[in-house]
Amino acid sequence: MTAQSGKDLLIKLDLNGAGQFQTIAGLRATRISFNAETVDVTSLESQGGWRELLGGAGVKSASLSGSGVFKDENTDERARQIFFEGETPEFQVIIPDFGIVQGAFQISAIEYAGSHNGEATYEISLASAGALSFTAL
């Protein structure tokens, strides 16, 4: 695998609930993180006193985050609507030369910032809200 351009890691949201995905505009940096809690089943009989974990038993989650500048009123408006109405619509994450992760996410934070001699910026954080699917590219 060759090096990939960071701009190709895209977060897309479903604009209308009909599977019409559009890239959240203006993002300059994006990040996806997959997590799995562990379930410790260590006992007095554990070999050599080493911790033992129960495979596949912990809660799995994913988080997304991005930061950027305002570029597109449709995706900005839809993100605000999702946050204020507490919706958990479908999102897609395009990971270059790897695949597409898709599933329900809740926007857990939107932050706005700006300085008097610069552009207005925003940061967005999302938390998975159900099972995710993966499609290899």
pLDDT per 10-residue tile (average), the chain, 137 residues = 82 89 90 95 94 94 93 85 95 93 96 91 95 95
* Residue 1 belongs to a domain: no
* Residue 41 belongs to a domain: yes
Identity at 21, one-letter amino acid code: F
* Residue 53 belongs to a domain: yes
Q: What is residue 26's predicted lDDT score, i.e. its pLDDT?
A: 87
Question: Strands 60-69 and 99-113, how do they pair?
Answer: unpaired
Question: To the nearest whole number, what is the mean pLDDT of the chain?
Answer: 92
Q: What is residue 38's predicted lDDT score, i.e. its pLDDT?
A: 95
**Contacts of 64 by beta carbon, 8 Å cutoff, 6+ apart:** 11, 30, 31, 32, 33, 91, 93, 105, 124, 125, 126
Q: What is residue 8's predicted lDDT score, i.e. its pLDDT?
A: 86
Domain extent, residue 62, equals: 6-136
Report the distance separating Cα 19 and Cα 91, nearest Å.
9
The CATH code of the domain that includes 32 is: 2.30.110
Q: In what order do the strands lie in the sheet with 121-136?
A: 21-23, 10-14, 90-95, 99-113, 121-136, 60-69, 27-36
8 A C-beta contact, residue 41 and residue 106:
no
Instruction: Please compute, for residue 56, the number of CA atoms within 13 A of its CA located in the half-sphere on the CB side.
Output: 0
Instruction: Count the domains in the chain.
Output: 1
Q: What is residue 1's predicted lDDT score, i.e. its pLDDT?
A: 66
Q: What is residue 16's predicted lDDT score, i.e. its pLDDT?
A: 85
* Residue 45 belongs to a domain: yes
CA angle, 53 then 56 then 59, to 5°: 95
